[in-house]
Amino acid sequence: MLFMNIDFNCLMMTFIGIFWSILFLQSGLDKVFDWKGNLGWLEGHFSKSPLATMVKPMLGTVTIIELLAGIISAIGVIQLWVAGSSLMLFVGLLFSTLSLIMLFFGQRIAKDYPGAQSIAIYFGIALLSFLLLLK
């Protein structure tokens, strides 16, 4: 049978790494290539919050963390297939979860509750990803 030779745990870890790579590389690169657009939108988004004066450094920090999450997750997929280690996938997932917590915090402070709700869904996926990686 074809399915008897497939390592489903390795396959699931691969999908986890690809998922987080796509999510955060796209998000981070969008912030890099459309910095002014993102900054302008976020300045309006946070204009009535205690974070109004901190938008630019927060955007820079989130961008770096997102790019690290995506890059490390992609490296983790390669490491998994080349060396059989899931260490970098785990580290990528840590950065991914940190990014989500940062984004969730911002949405809550800005009182964007639907935005925070959508991030909470990703956070649930991150927790499930940890469970699958730690098996």
The reported pLDDT for the residue numbered 134 is 87
- For the chain, percent of residues with pLDDT exceeding 70: 96
Distance CA 48, CA 57 (A): 17
**Pick from 45, 65, 68, 43: nearest CA to 54:** 43
pLDDT tens digits, 71-108: 999 999 999 999 999 999 999 999 999 999 999 999 99
**Which pTM value belongs to this model?**
0.92
- State the average pLDDT for the chain: 95
Half-sphere exposure of 74 (CA within 13 A, CB side): 12
117 Cβ neighbours under 8 A, 6+ residues apart = none
Residue 2 pLDDT greater than 60, yes or no: no
Only one residue has tokens 């590389």, namely 25
Distance CA 80, CA 58 (A): 32
Domain range summary for the chain, segments of one domain joined by +: 7-133
pLDDT tens digits, 54-71: 999 999 999 999 999 999
**Pick from 43, 45, 99: nearest CA to 70:** 99
Distance CA 73, CA 16 (A): 8
Residue 1 pLDDT greater than 90, yes or no: no
The reported pLDDT for the residue numbered 120 is 97
6-17: average pLDDT: 91
Q: Provide the pLDDT confidence category of residue 135 given band limits of 50, 70 and 90.
A: confident
118 Cβ neighbours under 8 A, 6+ residues apart = none
